[in-house]
Amino acid sequence: MKTVELRDATLNVIDVGSGPVLLLVHGFPLDHTMWQAQIDSLCDTFRVVAPDLRGFGTSTGATQTMTMAQFADDMNELLDALDIKEQITFCGLSMGGYVAWQFWKRHANRLARLILCDTRAISDTEEGARGRITMAQRVLDEGSSIMAEAMLPKLFAESSTNEHKAIIEATRRVIVTTAPVSVAGALRGMAQRPDMTSELPNIDVPTLVICGEHDAISTVGEMRAIAEHLPNARFVELADSGHMSPLESPHAFNSAIREFLV
């Protein structure tokens, strides 16, 4: 991994391969390792850049509230630090998708394409936002393990639970070892994220929208609607997958990306 110094954080980042740049931004509360199957496969064709967001994995810089705009600005600064001047493909899953929306709003000149995976365009309801704020305090009081207990049953398709026991356990380990301040900061940031639905018709970069068939968090219907409101989008549904489609169906996921980008 490379270590990249930002103004107020240190990001650890995988940077492998050569070719068009594919930036992989992980979900919450995970790190770059959720993309390992994509890194290993796609680096033969692309320059794959997969950072740990600030406060996650081995990156530093966690703050009390980490907004999606802040993460997006970090990605912009990261590209500068890596001397990447060409337009990139930004691929984000779940919270990484929230970051992708903000990257488009703030740094659209750097975007060639978008890949939105198992994510949402709507903001939290008032109840949902309050729930995140409450959970943030619980994590600070009780530790990150309660986040794993709350999230893991929702992340993977029930049909894949037995098949992917090792992957699920690895995901659990990542969550429980994430610093509570980072989990809480991102929860607060997600609670503040803006609704992007009215912006969808304006996002005219070619976009691939990927959703797991059994995603219980960002459903197929919701993600298909996102694709339908984007002017230049392709929708792909991955069978036998839940919210973690890159982990559950890596071959199909990678094939969808190759078909979109090559």
Whole-angstrom distance, CA of residue 60 vs CA of residue 66: 12
For residue 4, give the H/E element and its range: strand 2-5
Whole-angstrom distance, CA of residue 230 vs CA of residue 156: 27
Superfamily per CATH, domain 2-261 = Alpha/Beta hydrolase fold, catalytic domain (3.40.50.1820)
Residues 17, 230 contacting (CB under 8 angstroms): no
pLDDT of residue 158: 85
Domain boundaries, the chain: 2-261
Residue 214 is given by DSSP the state T
Looking at per-residue pLDDT, the higher value among 14 and 164 belongs to: 14
Whole-angstrom distance, CA of residue 85 vs CA of residue 134: 41
Residues 174, 145 contacting (CB under 8 angstroms): no
pLDDT of residue 159: 77
pLDDT of residue 232: 98
Q: State which amino acid sits at residue 10.
A: T
**How high does pLDDT run on average in the chain?**
97
Going by pLDDT thresholds of 50, 70 and 90, the confidence category of residue 244 is very high
Model confidence, pTM: 0.97
